[in-house]
Structure 1
Amino acid sequence: MLALAVAALGAGTFAFRWAGPALRNRIRFPDRAVRLLEIGAVVLLAALAAVTTLPLGSGRIGPALPAGVLVAGLLAWRRAPLPIVIAAAAATTALIRLFGEN
């Protein structure tokens, strides 16, 4: 049963990856739909960041994790390269935790 599920997921993944280039010139989305998809992607990423940044129900939330995410958000907004964003967020979180804050 597990092998069947893995094969089905693999086939579905392959189909989705194949469909993009194969259908690129055949399907045109209305401008409104493209705009809504772009907004939806941003909202989804913001929700994911909020859920993973503030682990509600797991005890006290210290300032280190939200501060690291804030630094990452600011650098990403300023269009810094991704490795710089990740390193700065990790360093901010680590330094705040090093100096005694959870």
Structure 2
Amino acid sequence: MTVWQIVLLASVAVLALKVAGYLVPPSLMERPTPARVANLTTVGLLAALVVTQTFERSGGLVLDARVPAVVLAGILFAFRVPFIVVILVAALTAAGLRLLGWMA
């Protein structure tokens, strides 16, 4: 099974979980455990997608200009920098590294 098949399968599972949230009684979803599982599954899938897009190419591990850009974006998010600034700085970082020939 490829990484993309796993991501798609997990996405279908999250969609099913979200739909089930509308079908179950509200009292069940107000409990802390089911609500936390639903929220953390979505966050986990998004994290897996980011990691897959950053570190994988043709089924192998790749370390190129995207890696420092994503790390820098994570640091800027930790400092609560506005989203547009994070995107611009990360894009400029990756572009600058590629222009300099580092991690191309």
Task: Give the TM-score band, short-chain normalised.
Answer: 0.5 to 0.7
Which ranges in structure 2 are unaligned for 5 or more consecutive residues? 1-17
Computing the radius of gyration over CA atoms, which structure comes out larger, 1 or 2?
1
Q: Give distance in 2, aligned partners of 1:34 and 1:79.
A: 25
Percent identical among aligned pairs is: 32
Alignment of 1:47 with 2:45, yes or no, is no
Q: Give distance in 2, aligned partners of 1:75 and 1:47.
A: 20
* Counterpart for residue 3 of structure 1: none
TM-score in terms of structure 1 length: 0.65
Which ranges in structure 1 are unaligned for 5 or more consecutive residues? 1-15, 17-22
Task: State the number of aligned residues.
Answer: 79
1:52 positional shift: 0.5
Segments ≥4 residues shifted beyond 6 Å: none
Report the secondary structure of 1:63's partner residue. Answer: coil
RMSD: 2.5
Query: Cα deviation per residue 1:8-63 (whole Å; 9 max; x = unaligned)?
Result: xxxxxxxx9xxxxxx7xx83412111111221122111100011001332788343
Q: Give distance in 1, aligned partners of 2:52 and 2:61.
A: 15
1:74 positional shift: 1.4
TM-score in terms of structure 2 length: 0.63
